[in-house]
Amino acid sequence: MDKFVVEKRGGPQRVHGLTFYLTTTPTPFIMEYMQVPATSSQGNILCCTCGIPIPPNPANMCVSCLRTTVDISEGIPKQVNLHFCKQCERYLQPPASWVQCALESRELLALCLKKLKGNMTKVRLIDAGFLWTEPHSKRIKLKVTIQKEVMNGAILQQVFVVEFVIQGQMCDDCHRVEAKDFWNSVVQVRQKTSHKKTFYYLEQLILKHKLHQHALNIKEIHEGIDFYYATKQHAQKMVDFLQCTVPCRSKTSQRLISHDIHSNTFNYKSTYSIEIVPVCKDNVVCLSPRLAQSLGNMGQVCVCARVTSTIHLIDPNTLQIAEVDGGTYWRNPFNSLVSPRQLEEFIVMDTDVIRNQKLGAGAGIRSNKHTLAEVWVQKTSEMDTAQQYHCRTHLGHLLNIGDMVQGFDFANSNVNDEFLNKMNPSHIPDVVLIKKSYNRSKRVKRRNWKLKEMDKDREGMAPEDERQYQDFLEDLEEDEALRKNVNIFRDASKIPVESDTDDEGAPRISLMEMLEDLSLTDATGGEGADMLTE
């Protein structure tokens, strides 16, 4: 569409018998010329090029001749190359920066106009917008409207289309990844224990806070995980998160890669070593006398209830609870007395709840979620004998006669521990019960939820790792406080199986605690995807 504009100042002007109503502002004002009757009728003039009659105008030319004579888009390219990295899905913003833009987004429009900015210094940009193209065509079409003053003060407006051809080009970051020389900093997380419950919990926290997005590679190795980063700032952010999430200690080291003596610049590769305390949930530990006294004169033999930013301990003889942070642990370290493989299965023969127990002077806080009870248990492997064991437990609110429970037999085991060997034998319990046992196969069949996992390099999940992962899923079902920090998704592909023989007492996760697992598989994705269908 072409329009003529006269740019002058003042009141009505008469040009060749035509009256123009003009603006008083200094900027050009676009208006279609119209003939206003004067004192007498006015005639037409002939176009100076083609000779057809036209109303008088400043250019003395018809619209068709003016369009063929003057091309205000001359010098503006109609086809421009736009470089796109397939690996990270970012566009090149000259000279060397890469930006992430969704199709038909405001950011992509600004990037395309910057490619034309150098050639549009003599024209005025009025409007710009996208035209629909197939998302996989590697073409982006931009409809541009410009203005320019032409002969005799007339302003011509023209609309044209610029086609941007998307060409593949690997960015520097992705190029370093493919060259296997990509990482600048690595965070090595280690835990010297046989169980990976803490790592499974830590993985869910990282996924929830999206700290794995900046990692170039995640590699799972023995006793830990390695996170590789392109910048030192992202690695330091991960270290700060780990120190606030789990009890740990860290060390930092640097290795000089190159040195430029002319500019006095150094290229280092940084390594952050994170060591998590070697204590997991459901571990039996023996505290030092000094630490036990500082925690409210609690017993030395305790059970680890959970591991979050601190170690949560509970005394099965008194229900006293305490929290040990990372600094306290490394000053007074203690180890796990039993691994999950050494737990044995017991059957409850009798139980008696203990009420109104009085604690000694200086005692700490007692747990309100547990019930203290005296129980008599018998090993399932010794059902043909009359051997029974008596102990106190913090699971009095869960155990009934005939229930199955997992525990550790101190009476028939040889434990080599510095603090346990120095304890009075009368203060060491015969059996420490850890948790109530349920039928695992039935729990797996009726589980209608799932967790997300990080994309990491590993050889595969061993049978022992699969068993430990199932233990972690059961811990989430049993501990409500633990799963508050975990995103649990409803598994729509799995139909829960219900039967009359299910364990009625087995804990379950309600639908209110589950999230819908959304999968955005749109070809465009991100902001502006819905605009392509209009």
Q: What is the pLDDT of residues 270-295, one digit of tens each?
A: 999 999 999 988 899 999 999 999 99
CA dihedral sign of residues 177, 180, 182, 185: positive
**Given a cut of 90, is residue 303 above it in pLDDT?**
yes
CB neighbour list of residue 134: distance below 8 Å, 6 or more residues apart: none
Is 262's pLDDT higher than 60?
A: yes
Q: How far apart are CA 172 and CA 174, in angstroms?
A: 6
**The pLDDT of residue 477:** 86
Average pLDDT over residues 317-323: 91
Residue 108 has phi, psi (to 5 degrees) of: -70, -35
- Provide the token pair at 97: 């920066």
Please give the pLDDT value at position 378.
92
Is it the case that residue 237 has pLDDT exceeding 90?
Answer: yes
- Answer yes or no: is pLDDT of 19 > 60: no
Residue 281: Cβ-neighbour burial (10 angstroms; 0-12, 13-18, 19+):
buried
**140, 108 Cβ separation under 8 angstroms:** yes
State how beta strands 248-260 and 265-276 pair.
Answer: antiparallel
Give pLDDT, residue 41. Answer: 52
- The candidate with the shortest Cα–Cα distance to 335, out of 396, 421, 269, is 421
- Bond into 95 cis (ω within 30): yes
DSSP string covering 493-516, please? Answer: T-PPP--TTS-TTS----GGG-B-
In angstroms, the CA 279 to CA 198 distance is 8
- The yes-or-no verdict on residue 489 having pLDDT over 60 is yes
Mean pLDDT of 343-357: 89
Residue 496 is predicted with a pLDDT of: 55
Exposed, middle or buried, 422 (CB in 10 Å: 0-12/13-18/19+)?
exposed
Distance (Å, whole) CA 108 – CA 118: 17
531 pLDDT above the threshold of 60: no
d(CA 316, CA 79): 76
Backbone φ and ψ of 412, nearest 5°: -115, 25
Q: pLDDT tens for residues 74-129? A: 888 889 999 999 888 899 988 888 999 888 899 999 998 888 887 788 888 889 99
For the entire predicted model, the pTM comes to 0.64
- Whole-angstrom distance, CA of residue 238 vs CA of residue 365: 34
